Amino acid sequence: MPDSGITRKPQSVVKPEARFIERLKKGEETALEEVLKKHGPPVYKFLFRFLGDKKRTDAAFTEIMTAFVMAVPELGENNRVETVIWQEAHRTAVKTAFGASGPTAPRAGGKKTFPPPDYLVKSSDPAAQKLVAGWEELAPPYREALALSGIEPLLSYEEASGIIEGTQGTLRSRLSYALRRFMRDV
């Protein structure tokens, strides 16, 4: 093709995620609303499944969203909103479950257990009571695997394994154990 004599200025490619982060940094309310609509329900479901208590779930969810808003000014163009929120969800769920002096992540074989969801505990249905017993016996790492990618998956294995600070194999192993144990008890 012949040279037209016009030199073109190279265009930089702006990723949609980077544009969205810029909107968040500018304080656009619609951008924050989009974050809440997209990520709020699955994060809340995860917290409720993991913690098993509405009051603790509400407090943890508020803490996660507050931490996310505080982190927005530090986000770079290579960050992903979803990753930041889910890492904070994992950290907050573990902190809420274990307390400030607990481990940084739940470990297999942990002895501390947490109550199942209130709606199951309050049910007089014998099947619900079996679920309660099975849930109470699961150690936190297995409960987290079940809450993230088990019965009603909230995330893909790849995303969930990044959140639990493990590999996909670790997540699949924990999930397999949780399901076997849960089904045996139920």
Q: What is the DSSP letter of 112?
A: -
Q: How far is CA 12 from the centre of its chain?
A: 33
pLDDT band at 66 (very low <50, low <70, confident <90, very high): very high
pTM higher than the cut 0.75: no
Closest CA to 20 of 84, 97, 77: 77
DSSP one-letter string for 107-163: -TT-----PPPHHHHT---HHHHHHHHHHHHS-HHHHHHHHHHSSS-SS-HHHHHHH
* pLDDT band at residue 5 using 50, 70 and 90 as cut-offs: low
- pLDDT tens per residue, range 142-159: 777 777 766 556 667 777
